[in-house]
Amino acid sequence: MVAQRLALALVLVWLGAGAAAAADVANGRQIVLHGNGHGATPCVACHGADGAGIADVAYPRLAGQQAAYLRKQLHDFRNGLRNSEVMQLFAKALSGAEIRDVAAYYAAQPAHGAHEIADRALIGAGRQLAERGDWDRNLPPCFSCHGPRGVGVGGDFPLLAGQHAQYIEKQLLAWKRGTRDNDPDQLMKTVAQRLGEPDIKGVAAYFASLNPAPAQRITLNDSRPAGGPR
């Protein structure tokens, strides 16, 4: 069943269509650094001008992330499909064009390098799940949706390589507990509910230890309209 749902989700990614409007990266930078002057506060306080985020408080790295994925998350915050009081207020103060611009700005920033993680056994356990899954528990490999080495696929499956382990853990726990559910066809919810705490820590450590490779990203559905409803 999980394999069938994965296949369906990837088909839906392929079917994304429509010409995306050109983004204004300079305007995106202006909003990131200074806000938009009508309610949206600067992004730099939490995510930094370079998109590095803050690991200790699980603010994610945004640099090099799929622009289509960033757009989708901002639309989901704005429409109440993803919970975060701060991000909902920020996204509601942005127009569709401003969402497009901010997403394009962070996507254009160089992806940051891997984190140094001392626990090699933890990374090894996470690598096993990421590369091969665990079919005895009906767990597909993470790579089957997020691409080889977690490079990201289109707007639904983000770049994970080099992401803060704390952030990955937090999101997997949110899906497991049902406090996040804006994933395609509830794939992440299904997977996360089958993961134990050691699994979550291992997967998070493994992806955090990888160097991002934005040149290899798979952008199947980056052409879906940027400003439309999500």
**What would the pLDDT profile of 170-192 be if each residue is shown by its tens digit?**
999 999 999 999 999 999 999 99
Q: 77 and 44, same structural domain?
A: yes
Degrees to nearest 5, angle at CA 2 with 202 and 72: 75
Tell whether 126 and 209 lie within a shared domain: yes
Total count of domains within the chain:
2
Helix, strand, or coil (residue 134): strand
Query: 104 and 118: one domain?
Result: no
End of a domain among 76, 108, 140?
108
185 contacts: CB under 8 Å, gap ≥ 6? 5, 8, 9, 12
Residues 93 and 145 in one domain: no
Do 120 and 180 reside in the same domain of the chain?
Answer: yes
- Among residues 108, 141, 167, the one where a domain terminates is 108
Q: Please report the pLDDT score of residue 117 as a whole number.
A: 84
138/204 same-domain check? yes
Q: Is the pTM higher than 0.95?
A: no
Give domain status of residue 40, yes or no: yes
Same domain, yes or no, for 74 and 128?
no
Domain residues for 58?
A: 17-108
Domain assignment present for 93: yes
User: Both 126 and 212 in a single domain?
Assistant: yes
Q: What pLDDT score was predicted for residue 32?
A: 98
What pLDDT does residue 4 have? 53
The answer to the question of residue 135 being in a domain is yes
User: What residues have CB less than 8 Å from 96, skipping those under 6 apart?
Assistant: 75, 226, 227, 228
Give CA–CA dist 126/11, Å, rounded: 27
| Closest residue by Cα to residue 168 from 102, 117, 105 | 117
The pLDDT value recorded for residue 101 is 98
Q: What integer pLDDT is reported at residue 154 of this predicted model?
A: 87
Q: What is the pLDDT of residue 6?
A: 53
Q: Are residues 35 and 85 in the same domain?
A: yes
pLDDT value at residue 19: 36
CA gap 165, 170 in Å, rounded: 9
Question: φ and ψ at 139, to 5 degrees?
Answer: -105, 115
What length is written for the chain?
Answer: 230
Two tokens, residue 129: 């799940």
204 lies in some domain? yes
96 domain-assigned: yes
**pLDDT tens digits, residue range 58-95?**
999 999 999 999 999 999 999 999 999 999 999 999 99
What's 47's domain CATH number? 1.10.760.10
For tokens 């050691």, name the residue: 198
pLDDT values of the chain reduced to their tens digit, one per residue, 230 residues: 555 555 444 444 433 333 356 899 999 999 999 999 999 999 999 999 999 999 999 999 999 999 999 999 999 999 999 999 999 999 999 999 999 999 999 999 999 888 888 899 999 999 999 999 999 999 999 999 999 999 999 899 999 999 999 999 999 999 999 999 999 999 999 999 999 999 999 999 999 999 986 545 555 544 343 333 33
Which of 108, 135, 152 is where one domain is finished? 108
Asked if residue 104 and residue 70 are part of one domain, the reply reads yes
- At residue 226, the pLDDT reads 38
